[in-house]
Amino acid sequence: MSAADTTTGGGTDDDYVYEPESPTAERIIVGDERLPVVDNGVTTHVRKQGVMDVNRLTTVQYIATGLGHNWNQVIGFTPNSEGLLGTPVDVQYRHDNDGTFTTAHRGYVKGIGGTGEPNKLQLQVGSVADFLSEIPASKKFGGTASAVDVLTYIVDTLEDGQPVFDDVSVATADTVHSYAPIYFDDVSYSIDDFLYILGGGGGINFVTGKRFTANRDTLADVLDWFRYHTNLRLWFEPKSDGGLVLVVADNFPQPTFRQTALGGSIDVLQNNALWQMRPFTRLHGVGRTGTDVPMTDFEVPVSTSQYPVATAKYEPLEDRLGGPVTTSVDIAASNLGEARNTVKTMLKSRLDEAGGGMIATSLEPSLYPFGELRAKPTVHDETYEEPPTLSYEIESLQHQSGTDMVPHTKLRVSMFVDTDDIEIVDSQTGMTSGQSDVGDDGSSLDNLN
């Protein structure tokens, strides 16, 4: 029996547990009960934007009554319910390749609304990070406060200040030693695979102390202050034994996911990202003449009429597009060394910002923002075999599963650029109008103008 086969009707059989005979791609566990979903089923949004560096929000369509249950009572909802409902919820998705389930979102019942259809409601699942801006902060940190001191205060106060989660701890993602291998060949994702408990020794000392007062500040203010002074990334993940962990990383782990066609584990259904982003492959920079250079510049050009010219290219993208796509810019460089460094830095920055591409994969709960996906473009559900694959950085995603759709994951991506693959293809010194344009080797620069 599936949720689509449900019939409406009341019921109070407390011993009944919904368990479909046919496996489904999602499991919504509310308290200790499995909630039957219908129609558009479950959608989980995972984004960089928000209070944390990874933020989650889930919506669930379910039946109000049926299968011997009043599901609103299971959730804790009544027509007179006001404010926080607070029932814990686990949103689990099945891995497409091996059939195992992963808890993609551990949250709480944040709200319930109608769908416009009889006996069908929509549940919103919030995250523990929602409470950070609601819980007052009253604490003074001295000038020698460590990262451990601040993080311990945040999680302890968070535990005491909200009614849903009584097990919140701190862990740090060791991106140098523990986070290996980075290739998820079997896509068996577990936060415990790359965490170790944050110890008490050492930490990060702050330059100045800080006082937080309850009538003005919240835990969100403490978190913002901490991130400003440490440049660390923080986000919450469910622990395998229950509860939540506040993950801390100084360099966000970027696991590399590969699509099935390459011997990896992600089944890419559609990839038009490159066409949607329309990136360029080369950046051609033209520097300043000596007359434009302020006296404070460290290296003075040989002649006031000369200007540096440099071009950088990103080879993997150029190979994929079958040729160069060039953009030209003015750069604040007065010599060839500055010009080479500037165009390489600018090319990476421009490609990093070339977002907006979309990729659809089979349902894969192990994907998350900041991860790298290596994939080939697809057209009409067919994957190109040539030329080589490209790497994309996941900006945001949403998992979707329901009775009226094929379970899948949609990704919004940007280019994932390895600086080692950016190379200088030309750097010469040009001359102002009326003078000969020659490079360091005496060659003409006419082809650059």
Lowest mean pLDDT among 20-29, 54-63, 116-125, 230-239: 20-29
Higher-pLDDT residue of 366 and 16 is: 366
Looking at this protein, which amino acid is placed at residue 246?
Answer: L
Least confident segment among 33-42, 347-356, 413-422, 431-440: 431-440
- Bond into 79 cis (ω within 30): no
448 pLDDT band (50/70/90 cuts)? very low
Residue 388's pLDDT band, with cuts at 50, 70 and 90, is low
Return the closest-CA partner of residue 259 out of 188, 362, 370: 362
DSSP 303-370: STTEEEEEEEEEHHHHHHHTS--EEEEE---SSHHHHHHHHHHHHHHHHHT---EEEEEE--TT--TT
pLDDT of residue 148: 83
Domain 256-276+354-417 class in CATH: mainly beta
If pLDDT is split at 50, 70 and 90, which confidence band does 80 have?
A: low
Q: How confident is the model at residue 299 (pLDDT cuts 50, 70, 90)?
A: very low
Q: What is the pLDDT of residue 159?
A: 94
Task: Give the domain ranges of the chain.
Answer: 3-126, 132-249, 256-276+354-417, 279-353+421-448
Using the predicted structure, report yes or no on whether residue 259 has a pLDDT greater than 80: no
The tokens for 250 are 């100084």
Cα(82)–Cα(210) distance, integer angstroms: 36
Report the helix count and the strand count for the chain, using DSSP H and E: 6, 27
pLDDT band at 298 (very low <50, low <70, confident <90, very high): very low
3-class SS of residue 282: strand
Query: What pLDDT, on a 0 to 100 scale, did the predictor assign at position 63?
Result: 86
Residue 425 backbone class (left: φ over 0; alpha: ψ -120 to 50; beta: rest): alpha
- Whether 154 has a pLDDT exceeding 80, the answer reads yes
pLDDT band at 74 (very low <50, low <70, confident <90, very high): confident
Residue-level pLDDT at 114: 81
pLDDT digits (tens, 9 = 90+) for 92-111: 998 776 778 889 999 999 88
Residue written as token pair 């923080």: 234
Residue 189 pLDDT grade (very low, low, confident, very high; cuts 50, 70, 90): very low
Name which of 88-97, 234-243, 369-378, 383-392 the model is least confident about: 383-392
Confidence of residue 357 (pLDDT cuts 50, 70, 90): confident
- Measured torsion, CA atoms of residues 146, 152, 153, 157, in degrees rounded to the nearest 10: 170
- Residues of the chain above pLDDT 90, percent: 22
In the predicted model, is pLDDT for residue 161 greater than 90? yes
The reported pTM is: 0.73
Does 272 have pLDDT greater than 90? no
How far from 130 is each of 86, 145, 307, 379, CA to CA, in Å?
Answer: 12, 26, 54, 40
352-366 burial, b at 16+ Cβ within 10 Å, e below that, comes to eebbebebbbbbbbb
Query: CB-hemisphere CA count at 13 Å for 266?
Result: 30
- Report residue 220 as tokens: 């969100």
Q: Which of 271, 283, 393, 253 is nearest to 347 (CA)?
A: 283
What is the reported pLDDT for 207?
59
Task: Give the pLDDT confidence score for residue 382 in this predicted structure.
Answer: 54
Closest to 87 measured CA to CA, from 71, 104, 72, 75: 75
pLDDT in tens, 313-338: 988 888 777 788 888 999 888 888 88
Top pLDDT among 302 and 312 is at 312
Residue that wins the pLDDT comparison between 434 and 323: 323
| pLDDT top residue among 265 and 247 | 247
Nearest 5°: CA angle at 195, between 189 and 198? Answer: 160
**Which token pair is 180?**
């290996």
Which helix (H) or strand (E) covers residue 70, if one does?
strand 69-70
